Amino acid sequence: MTLTRRQALILGGAGVVGAGIVTVPISGVSAKSASKLSDRDMPRPYGTPLTIPPPLAYQTTVDADGVTTRHYTMTQRLGSAKILSRLSTPILGYNGIFPGPTIRIDRGTRAIVRVRNQLPAKHPTLGHALPTSTHLHGSASLPQYDGYANDLTLPGFYKEYHYPNFQPARSLWYHDHAVHFTAQNVYSGLAGQYLISDPVEKGLLPQGQFDVPLTISDAMFAANGALGFDDREHSGLWGDVILVNGKPWPVMKVQKRVYRFRILNASVSRSYNFRLSTGDPVTVVATDAGLMPVAQTVGSWRHGGAERYEVLIDFRKYAVGTRIELRNTSNENNRDFDHTGKIMRFDVVGDTVNTADPTWNSIPTTLATSHPMDLKATDAVKTRRFRIKHDDDTNIWTIDDLTWEEVIASGFKRVMANPALDAVEIWEMENSSGGWFHPMHMHLVDFQVLSRNGKPPFAYEKGPKDVVYIGEDETVRLLVHFGPHRGRYMVHCHNLTHEDHSMMLQFRVGLGADEEDPNDPITAAPAVWDPVQG
Ligand code: C2O
Ligand code: CU
């Protein structure tokens, strides 16, 4: 009998698949631990305070037309993170920290972010070369500023990324997108939040210290405190330590009022099913690409890699001293460990609440109907279907039988689709790769989830999105408006180890196959040698 690769993976036959990594089944798996830390060094839930990444400083210029631009610089460098109490953890970080600094900017103010690559030639523990490409996830950037996987900035070089920020308020994030090593680089620390504000959002939702970015990831540690990396033959990385803003299962003190949390799943592979330990619901007010038309009150939500959900939690009714946990009941096809069901804890404190702030007790219901939530399925001029598969013999994930390798081989010309500029289309994606879920992400566009398995999407998905969770045997239909830029943009699975091997394709908007592309993602704005080193 010959086993297919997947059967071999399921049987966990060491050596069957070459690298000798023992791999066990995929569904609802629970295991003891992934970290090699001693008992003494293994962090315990709720032993450390939540920290908030610092803001990033900038300079402002105003041009002759009155356009305001902020100029930021971030340096990718080695850093040392304090995650474990007795050991330090080497990381790669924007400005040497994980998560990277938070950028908060108003809609209508442009930004130019100089990203300096001051990383060593090779990753200190994993050994791969360290050219980088920075993607601002959720921004309609021109192709040459979009972090195209092969638009690489070598160590010693920098690249200036131009961000338009004309889109409605939303929670974006920047992260590395280097071809074949995105998983390793993001996991090592190259990720941060970038938040666009506007008057609509400011009028409705908590601001300042009550508007809290939460970047959630999972990690495994070597005995010396370094990050371990095991992607189980490119199927997924499953850490046993949950980090929120880079701290293990932290605790946040909260006042008796309404808080807004911008929850980003920055894990390489893991998805979550979040809920409160009290059983009380939360109110989802924004999805990946901004405010929902109508707030949705839900008891739990499934949250895949790169998705952003903004939720309001109302702490008014809890007595001072109450401890409320954010928990994770997980989903099919994750690997869970003893404490991956816990995320963080909120401790209610008796500080005086500023009731002059109108958001302190407000849970709005009607929010904002922005594009593309105002579109209807009948606006679509075309329906395209894509099938996601896994080849059990080669262990390759494909989208319509193609991978990024074919895109590379074509000189970056090959596309999965060529919509006209401003075309509205329905994209149907079917996951026929049994045993895995895939958070699929389209660059450039925001989309509306029309249906999931022929039924309406989940309540919390009824907002503008740029990533959609496609579980085992699920089919989603997306309503997409292609624009406002012409050019080539990537589509990929945001399980980063899938993306790297090589579950990624591209579409081309508003350009013929042989038409000259003024916004060529690789050549239009190349990185330059940095006159300042260090
Ligand atoms: Cu968040 Cu193409 O990625
Ligand atoms: Cu995937």
| Tokens encoding 109 | 């103010």
What does the alpha-carbon distance between residue 53 and residue 101 come to, in Å, rounded to a whole number? 5
Domain identity same for 232 and 115: no
Q: What is the pLDDT of residue 210?
A: 98
Give the tens place of pLDDT for each residue, 109-147: 999 999 999 999 999 999 999 999 999 999 999 999 999
Q: Which residue has the tokens 């991978």?
A: 403
Residue 29 has pLDDT above 90, yes or no: no
Residue 517 has pLDDT above 60, yes or no: yes
Domain identity same for 357 and 449: no
| Tokens encoding 487 | 């050019």
- pLDDT, averaged across the chain: 94
Domain membership flag for residue 52: no
Answer whether 137 contacts ligand 1 (Cβ < 6 A).
Answer: yes
Element (H, E) at 187: helix 182-187
Residue 26 has pLDDT above 60, yes or no: no
Domain identity same for 409 and 465: yes
Domain membership flag for residue 453: yes
Residue 14 has pLDDT above 70, yes or no: no
Element (H, E) at 48: none
- The total domain count for the chain is 3
Domain identity same for 163 and 275: no
Domain identity same for 188 and 83: yes
Domain identity same for 460 and 389: yes
What does the alpha-carbon distance between residue 158 and residue 114 come to, in Å, rounded to a whole number? 7
Question: Where residue 219 sits, what CATH number does that domain have?
Answer: 2.60.40.420
Domain identity same for 219 and 187: no
Domain with 350, as residue range(s), is: 208-361
Domain identity same for 212 and 335: yes
Domain identity same for 402 and 347: no
Answer whether 262 contacts ligand 1 (Cβ < 6 A).
Answer: no
Domain identity same for 474 and 392: yes
Answer whether 486 contacts ligand 1 (Cβ < 6 A).
Answer: no
SS3 of the chain: helix, strand, coil, percent, to 5: 10, 40, 50
Distance of CA 498 from the midpoint of ligand 2 (Å): 5
Answer whether 498 contacts ligand 1 (Cβ < 6 A).
Answer: no
Residue 23 has pLDDT above 90, yes or no: no
Element (H, E) at 408: helix 404-409
Domain membership flag for residue 33: no
Domain identity same for 408 and 320: no
Take atom 3 of ligand 1 and give the residue whose Cα is closest: 137
User: Of the candidates 171, 200, 229, which is a domain's last residue?
Assistant: 200
Domain membership flag for residue 15: yes
Domain membership flag for residue 38: no
SS3 7: helix
What does the alpha-carbon distance between residue 364 and residue 285 come to, in Å, rounded to a whole number? 8
Distance of CA 348 from the midpoint of ligand 1 (Å): 36
User: Of the candidates 312, 335, 361, which is a domain's last residue?
Assistant: 361
Domain membership flag for residue 514: no
SS3 273: strand
Give the tens place of pLDDT for each residue, 307-356: 999 999 999 999 999 999 999 999 999 999 999 999 999 999 999 999 99
Give the tens place of pLDDT for each residue, 139-178: 999 999 999 999 999 999 999 999 999 999 999 999 999 9
Q: What is the pLDDT of residue 20?
A: 33
Domain identity same for 308 and 381: no
Distance of CA 181 from the midpoint of ligand 2 (Å): 15
